[in-house]
Amino acid sequence: MRTDITNILPEECISYILSLTSPTDVCRSKLVSPVFRSAADSDTIWGKFLPSDCYDIISNASSSSSSKLLTSSMSKTQLYFHLCKNPIIIDNGTMSFGLDKATGKKCFMLGARRLSIAWANTPRYWRWKHVPESRFLEVAELKEVWWLDVKGTIETKILSPNTTYVAYLVYKFSSSRYGFEKKPVDLHVELGESDAGRTFRIFLDPSANIPQFSREREDGWMEVKLGEFFNEHGDDGKATCSLREVDNYTLKKGLIIEGIDIRPKDSR
């Protein structure tokens, strides 16, 4: 006669065992039995999947009321899934923080205001504006430049350790765009001073006979991979992500930048 483990082990023990697996495994375990379903909803499990500095990051949220709601009104289980679906805005509105649903690892987006954009504060070349579909208060719209140089940096110590991260430019085009179908841009990511990284050259707005490297996101924006890097212990200093086209001969306009998304590889 086969013994049902759920009749032997208390629910607290099952919850502890599940906490040693992964968020994906825990979600799958709910299909095993009602006991597993109940154990899988335990705060004991999801508290272990939250990053150790999760509440410190939340305390830096732009809105103190939203921070208070997240920390005091939600269980750890609710908080985990909320951060997977609803990144919160931190650092004075210049960055967002969320979690990768499959692993619980940290995801960040550097908003346009946090990026280093050449001539970003010169009205002739760039315009700052609000668009309702952005998570940030402002995005940067390119009016016209010959020299395009966009960089974003993030300290590796705030990222999840032992994780390969991928950086994506999050963007779209205005109805009036020009230049990005004529000249490719250089995409690059480097880690600290020891890793020079690789440079990719692609067309952001390719014609029909040229491969498309961008893809549409669930939030309606486009994204294109800038590069990737491995964060071992978080002691590599900074990761720098860049987009450049600086030959000075091709006028470019119509690019709208929301930010640079930095998330674990294969998280979507």
pTM: 0.90
CA-to-CA separations, 220 to 11, 129, 167, 173, 223, in angstroms, rounded: 42, 17, 18, 12, 10
pLDDT at 71: 72
Mean pLDDT on 63-68: 62
138 secondary structure, DSSP code: -
Mean pLDDT on 2-25: 68
Q: What percent of the chain has pLDDT over 70?
A: 86
Partnered with residue 103 across adjacent β-strands are: none
Please report which helix (H) or strand (E) contains residue 82, including its range. helix 76-85
Q: What is the dihedral of CA 93, 95, 98, 103, to 10 degrees?
A: -170
CA-to-CA separations, 148 to 85, 111, 175, in angstroms, rounded: 33, 17, 19
Q: What's the mean per-residue pLDDT of the chain?
A: 88
d(CA 245, CA 69): 43
Q: Is the pLDDT of residue 213 over 90?
A: yes
Mean pLDDT on 12-34: 73
Confidence of residue 151 (pLDDT cuts 50, 70, 90): very high
pLDDT digits (tens, 9 = 90+) for 156-167: 999 999 999 999
Q: Is the pLDDT of residue 1 over 50?
A: no
Per the listing, tokens 């995801």 go with 107
Q: Is the pLDDT of residue 30 over 80?
A: no
pLDDT at 8: 62
By three-state DSSP, how is residue 20 classified? coil
pLDDT digits (tens, 9 = 90+) for 226-240: 999 999 988 878 999
Given a contact cutoff of 8 angstroms between Cβ atoms, the answer to whether 80 and 107 are in contact is no
Given a contact cutoff of 8 angstroms between Cβ atoms, the answer to whether 61 and 90 are in contact is yes
Give the pair of three-digit tokens for residue 146: 């010959």
Give the pair of three-digit tokens for residue 80: 């985990």
d(CA 170, CA 162): 25
Given a contact cutoff of 8 angstroms between Cβ atoms, the answer to whether 110 and 94 are in contact is yes
